[in-house]
Amino acid sequence: MSIRKRGNQLVIDFRCYLPDGRRVRCVETSGPDTEKNRKHVERKHKAIEYALSHGRFDYLAFFPHGTKAKHFENRSEMMFSDWWNQWLREKSVRPGTESNYRYQYENHIEPHFGHLELSEIDQGEILVFRKRLEGKGLKASTINVYLKPLCQALLAASKRGLIPVYPCLDIGSLSEARASIDPLSFDELKHWLDYLSEKAPEWYDMILFWSRTGLRPGELYALRWEHVDFFNKKAMIREAKKQSGEVGLPKTNRSIRDVDLRPTVIDALKRQQARTGLMGQHVFLDFKQTTFAAHKMLEGFRHWMRLAGLKYRPPKQMRHTFATLHLAAGEQIGWVAEMMGHSDPEITWKKYYRFIPNLTRDDGSAFEKIMDSENQIGNRLVTSLVTT
């Protein structure tokens, strides 16, 4: 972007987006080269530069009779739904992220904004939308997640001149409550496993596996038998079930990992193989013999924890249980971070530092020593399966 002379006239030379998405060069004549007019043009130049960098450039406000004015006169005719589809096609995101964006759009964004023209969406409309999400009882963190793609799409629209002002500019994120870590203690986990071994053997093996591997819920739901390597004692995490129900890649590239399987876990998987190995591709199935959905797992946790006399925790706390109990047992933080798919042990440290004593081992054996009494429970289960 620059100011230069053309003959005895000053021109402002810059690039902007047309409503159809094309980025073009604009060379706009701005009056004679006089000392007074040069100062005026310099101020105008700075204002344009600021507007372009902040996504607030309105071509017609600066050049109502400019060379590109005809391209902007009907800019308000584009519907938000049309722009959203164009924006998502052009945006380069991971398949899992795109799937989440489509879910958020279809279930929340489209019902509110889909029928509006882009020019009708202002700051007030965004705030009304956010208030409606709050009225549905959604958490602040969830609302912030839904606002992110909406505001990204509107920012792209403002940079291309489809709307004069970026409506999300002064809308901050809602304050989020710190994610609570409420894992089971050693005693609680042992008590629950002991109860499940007698009342629900299939849940015993699933919870034992989960407490020893630290998978995310979606990773557990999507785990297939083809990704269980008994010979190398590994569970290969290659897929995850999304909120929308689709199965795709795990959360991050680092989440694609191989998880170590201790002998106790392998025994549990072999018992599970006797139940589901011939019933489909997935390792863990619900009582209808279908892959777990989030709400079904929630129901199961509420039911079996209540019957065991335990304080209820949601399924995601099994991941925290794995981290906190293994760290408390003295496993090396680097090994725990690797099993959980964290990109850096520093992430694990910051999240679970208050549970970390002296760290000396890195193979899962410390945890097994504390939980070794569970081997006896496993042996009883094997005996019961054989006799039945």
* pLDDT value at residue 130: 93
* pLDDT value at residue 117: 87
- Cα separation, 345 vs 340, in Å, equals 10
Structure-model confidence comparison of residues 342 and 386, the more confident one: 342
CA 71 to chain centre: 38
| Residue 273 burial (CB count, 10 A) | 15
Range 186-387 has CATH code 1.10.443.10: yes
Structure-model confidence comparison of residues 374 and 99, the more confident one: 99
**Is residue 148 a contact partner of residue 161, using CB atoms and an 8 Å limit?**
no
- Cα separation, 83 vs 160, in Å, equals 11
* pLDDT value at residue 357: 58
* pLDDT value at residue 375: 60
- CA of 317: how far to CAs of 71, 202, 293, 349, 381, in Å? 55, 19, 16, 17, 25
Average pLDDT over residues 214-242: 94
Structure-model confidence comparison of residues 215 and 382, the more confident one: 215
* pLDDT value at residue 359: 44
Q: Show the 3-state SS of the chain.
A: CEEEEECCEEEEEEEEECCCCCEEEEEEEEEECCHHHHHHHHHHHHHHHHHHHCCCCCHHHHCCCCCCHHHHCCHHHCEHHHHHHHHHHHCCCCHHHHHHHHHHHHHHHHHHHCCCEHHHCCHHHHHHHHHHHHHCCCCHHHHHHHHHHHHHHHHHHHHCCCCCCCCCCCCCCCCCCCCCCCCCCHHHHHHHHHHHHHHCHHHHHHHHHHHHHCCCHHHHHHCEHHHEECCCCEEEECCEECCCCCEECCCCHHHCEEEECCHHHHHHHHHHHHHHCCCCCECCECCCCCECCHHHHHHHHHHHHHHCCCCCCCCCHHHHHHHHHHHHCCECHHHHHHHHCCCCHHHHHHHHHHHCCCCCECCCHHHHHHCCCHHHHHHHHHHHHHHC
User: At residue 360, does pLDDT exceed 50?
Assistant: no
- Cα separation, 189 vs 187, in Å, equals 6
Return the percentage of the chain with pLDDT > 70, whole number. 90
Average pLDDT over residues 356-372: 62
Average pLDDT over residues 140-166: 88
Q: Binning pLDDT at 50, 70 and 90, where does residue 334 land?
A: very high
* pLDDT value at residue 225: 95
User: At residue 366, does pLDDT exceed 70?
Assistant: no
Answer whether 76-159 and 186-387 agree in fold: no
Return the percentage of the chain with pLDDT > 90, whole number. 43
Average pLDDT over residues 57-84: 79
Convert the pLDDT of each residue in 176-196 to its tens digit: 766 678 899 999 999 999 999
User: At residue 358, does pLDDT exceed 50?
Assistant: no
Q: What are phi and psi of 241, to 5 degrees?
A: -85, 125
CA 298 to chain centre: 20
Among 7-11, 111-115, 242-246, 260-264, top mean pLDDT goes to 260-264
Among 17-26, 98-107, 209-218, top mean pLDDT goes to 209-218
- Cα separation, 246 vs 339, in Å, equals 24
Query: Where are the chain's structural domains?
Result: 2-73, 76-159, 186-387
- 76-159, what's its fold? DNA polymerase; domain 1 (1.10.150)
Contact partners, residue 70, CB within 8 Å, separation at least 6 = none
Structure-model confidence comparison of residues 216 and 355, the more confident one: 216
Which residue type, as a one-letter code, is found at position 137? G
* pLDDT value at residue 69: 82
CA-nearest of 277, 260, 283 to 339 is: 260
**Is residue 301 a contact partner of residue 184, using CB atoms and an 8 Å limit?**
no
**Is residue 45 a contact partner of residue 3, using CB atoms and an 8 Å limit?**
yes
Average pLDDT over residues 274-292: 88
Contact partners, residue 376, CB within 8 Å, separation at least 6 = none
Residue-wise over 301-322: b if at least 16 C-beta within 10 A, else e?
beebbeebebeebebbbbbbbb
Average pLDDT over the chain, rounded to whole? 86
Convert the pLDDT of each residue in 125-148 to its tens digit: 999 999 999 998 888 888 999 999
